[in-house]
Amino acid sequence: MKPMNFLKKLLKTTPTPIKSTLTITSSNGFHMRPIAKFANEVKKFDATITIEAKEQKVQATQVPKILSLALETGDSFILYSVGEEAKEADSYLKDYFNKLMMEDSKVEIAKQEDENYQAPSIYGDTIVKGVGIAPLVKYKTIEIVDDTKKSVDIKEAIDLTKEELLNLYKDSIKGEETQIFLAQKEILSSEIFEKEFKSIEDLDKVFNQEIENIKDTKFKSKVSDYKDLKKRVLSYLGLKSVLKLPNTPYILLAKDLLPSEVNQISKTAIKGVILEEGSLTSHASILLRSFNIASIIVNKPICENSSCNYPNVIIDANSGDIILEPTSRDLRKAESKQKKIILENDKSYSKRFEPSRTKSGRKVRVLANITDVNSAKEAKDDGADGVGLFRTEFLFTKSKPSLEEQIRAYREIFELFDDITIRTLDIGGDKSLPYINIPKEDNPFLGLRGIRFSLYEKTLLKEQLLAIFKAHNGKRVKVMFPMVSQKEEFRRAKRVAFDVAREHNIDISNILFGIMIEVPSVILALKVFDKGVDFFSIGTNDLTQYLFAIERTHPILKVDLTSPIIISALKIIIDNTSKPISICGELAGIEEATPELINMGYTNLSVSSKLIPSLKEKIRSI
């Protein structure tokens, strides 16, 4: 075959890649946890998927290589998809990436209070609030050699580490923290660790190279993850590094901490942590917040001598002060603050099951926003008066659930509470399902979202309503339709519900039907809606988005949720409705806004379960 003919044939048979440009909108950048989740989704498709950015092209399954690109807020990359499922992969991964960006919330900087200590104070940034008084202990590790493990080869050690991380992801601490272990597992699953290592020195070179790739980028705090992984792998090879800690109360001073070490210190008499390096978004910081250990980052060395002998150090993470040599007056002040914090926390937690009433006697119900059975159980344990928002999307995320699966999940949650508001499937905009084809839209936030999609597709809505009706067992349940903008949408949705009940001969006399107020058009038609619905719930996040015409995921434009414009809108709503109403958006959990919301007449606030005890105590002080 002539060279030119061969070239023509090659060009004809080489598939054209599908290209999409994606932009980093999270203020945290495209960091390790979302990268790991994204890479995990990429593996599900029969396609070769790559990422191109900064004149580099890397496999979209390779977490270390994507991380080394150091993609920050505002950066873009091109997603290339080639293969049998290229089209499906491109469509799904674009939606999934946008969802990751939206969910990757900015780490809020703790608001520090003013404080005056007599002795010289070292000032730092607060990771976790709290006050501790104890001797200062400098970070020190000891090496232990376990000869019984020397028979394990490096590949097996890596596999055992991945298995360990997977188990931590499944069984360990909840929420954002679990993603740390998944991210670490995905690093070890990348091709750079699939090679045959002849020695520990070879393995060490790979880790050192990956550390070198990110040490001067925004993601330099993730260096500790590579060090942590190396430590875990070496422990399976018989080389164990253990953090040496006292049995008595202490404040730990460290340059930085590995994620596994935070877990270790949480089980000791730790009273505080001072980090000389690091960031508020590092995995160590996330875990310190999870374990609620008072901690501060100073970003400078504070103890030059090796002994670092300070027997009575104060760490006041409420103000950001570290006092190495406090006066007796300083100690009294810190002890007083410490006792007050303990009393407030104990008081709010011990009273979490009690009703919350203002000083004037007005009862305010604090409800929970939940996503699944586990979060429902947590809400119950944290003192929730009921469920103000049951997001049902968790059941539908990866595959379409059967009717029986839905019934079981709903029934288990319904049995925990007497007051439950369940929201029908809310997809579209930034939320998608891999098995549902929503027509491509230039402005998805203004398109087939929430009830609009459900009335367009109908099959999922009918089956979900049937599952709710079969699961409720005569208990009063509130069914809430999202993204309603016109009265006809509510009427059509309710008509579908009654048709389903009639077709299956189910009594739904205990079922109430309401809407989310999140589209401004509803505010202009409140009197009309008030005649038809049984209840309202205000989703302040989307309502803010649509009031200001600013997308929630926008990397630059932001809106203060306590803006006078939002407060004015809430006043208009409460003044023009007679039906029960609650607030289930982020604003409900901002304690600074609580007095104003209650004074306006809002007595049903739905928040994440961890906020319930303190919010109830805040209400009692109003």
> CATH number, domain at 364?
3.20.20.60
563 & 425 share domain:
yes
In degrees rounded to 5, what are phi and psi of residue 26?
Answer: -70, 140
Query: What pLDDT sits at residue 226?
Result: 87
Give tens-digit pLDDT for 178-196.
Answer: 678 888 888 888 888 888 8
Q: In total, how many domains does the chain have?
A: 4
With 80 as the cut, is the pLDDT of residue 147 above it?
no
Give the SS3 label for residue 57. strand
Give tens-digit pLDDT for 451-493.
Answer: 998 998 899 999 999 999 999 988 899 999 999 999 999 999 9
Could you give the CA distance from residue 559 to residue 561 in angstroms, rounded to a whole number?
6
283 & 369 share domain:
no
Neighbours of 443 (CB within 10 A): 8
Query: What pLDDT sits at residue 221?
Result: 76
325 & 422 share domain:
no
Query: What pLDDT sits at residue 1?
Result: 47
Could you give the CA distance from residue 119 to residue 440 in angstroms, rounded to a whole number?
63
Q: Which of 322, 348, 374 is the last residue of a domain?
A: 348
CATH number of the structural domain spanning residue 131: 3.50.30.10
With 50 as the cut, is the pLDDT of residue 173 above it?
no
Could you give the CA distance from residue 268 to residue 274 in angstroms, rounded to a whole number?
16
With 70 as the cut, is the pLDDT of residue 8 above it?
no
157 & 259 share domain:
no
Residues in the chain: 622
329 & 456 share domain:
no
Enter the tokens of residue 460: 């999922």
pTM: 0.58
Average model confidence (pLDDT) across the chain: 87
Given a contact cutoff of 8 angstroms between Cβ atoms, the answer to whether 293 and 266 are in contact is: yes
Give tens-digit pLDDT for 63-83.
Answer: 888 888 888 888 899 999 998
With 60 as the cut, is the pLDDT of residue 544 above it?
yes
463 & 604 share domain:
yes
Which of 258-272, 424-438, 523-537, 539-553 has the lowest average pLDDT?
424-438
Could you give the CA distance from residue 567 to residue 247 in angstroms, rounded to a whole number?
51
Give tens-digit pLDDT for 148-163.
Answer: 556 678 888 898 888 8
Residue 477 belongs to a domain: yes
Q: Is 283 a catalytic residue?
A: yes
360 & 331 share domain:
no
Give the mean pLDDT of 299-313: 81
Give the mean pLDDT of 544-550: 88
Residue 2 belongs to a domain: no
Give tens-digit pLDDT for 37-64.
Answer: 898 889 889 999 999 998 899 999 888 8
Encoded amino acid at 241, one letter = S
580 & 537 share domain:
yes
Q: What are the DSSP E strand ranges found in 396-472? A: 420-423
Query: What pLDDT sits at residue 609?
Result: 85
Could you give the CA distance from residue 253 to residue 301 in angstroms, rounded to a whole number?
10
Give tens-digit pLDDT for 333-375.
Answer: 999 998 888 888 778 888 899 999 999 999 999 999 998 888 8
| Set 31, 303, 504, 584: catalytic member | 584
Q: Which residues pair with 477 in a beta bridge?
A: 420, 511
Which of 250-259, 430-439, 584-593 has the lowest average pLDDT?
430-439
Could you give the CA distance from residue 542 to residue 31 in angstroms, rounded to a whole number?
26
Q: Which of 332, 348, 364 is the last residue of a domain?
A: 348
Q: Which of 348, 374, 397 is the last residue of a domain?
A: 348
Instruction: Express as a percent the part of the chain with pLDDT over 70.
Output: 90
Domain around 309: 122-140+244-348
Could you give the CA distance from residue 459 to residue 462 in angstroms, rounded to a whole number?
5
Highest mean pLDDT among 363-377, 389-403, 441-455: 363-377
Residue 117 belongs to a domain: no
Give the mean pLDDT of 232-252: 89
Could you give the CA distance from residue 95 to residue 109 in angstroms, rounded to a whole number?
29
Query: CA of 85: how far to CAs of 20, 283, 398, in Å?
Result: 15, 34, 16
Give the mean pLDDT of 79-101: 89
Residue 436 belongs to a domain: yes
Residue 586 belongs to a domain: yes
Could you give the CA distance from residue 618 to residue 404 in angstroms, rounded to a whole number?
41
| Set 283, 303, 308, 504: catalytic member | 283
302 & 409 share domain:
no
With 80 as the cut, is the pLDDT of residue 9 above it?
no
Residue from 484, 502, 506 nearest 493 by CA: 484
Q: What are the DSSP E strand ranges found in 223-318? A: 239-243, 250-254, 270-275, 295-297, 313-316
Residue 19 belongs to a domain: yes
507 & 405 share domain:
yes
With 50 as the cut, is the pLDDT of residue 113 above it?
yes
Residue 116 belongs to a domain: no
Enter the tokens of residue 198: 């002849």
Given a contact cutoff of 8 angstroms between Cβ atoms, the answer to whether 423 and 514 are in contact is: no
In degrees rounded to 5, what are phi and psi of residue 167?
Answer: -65, -40
155 & 65 share domain:
no
Q: What are the DSSP E strand ranges found in 70-163? A: 76-82, 122-123, 125-128, 131-134, 136-138, 141-145
Per-state percent for the chain, helix, strand, coil, to nearest 5? 45, 20, 40
Q: Is 303 a catalytic residue?
A: no
Query: What pLDDT sits at residue 175?
Result: 52
371 & 505 share domain:
yes
Residue 5 belongs to a domain: no
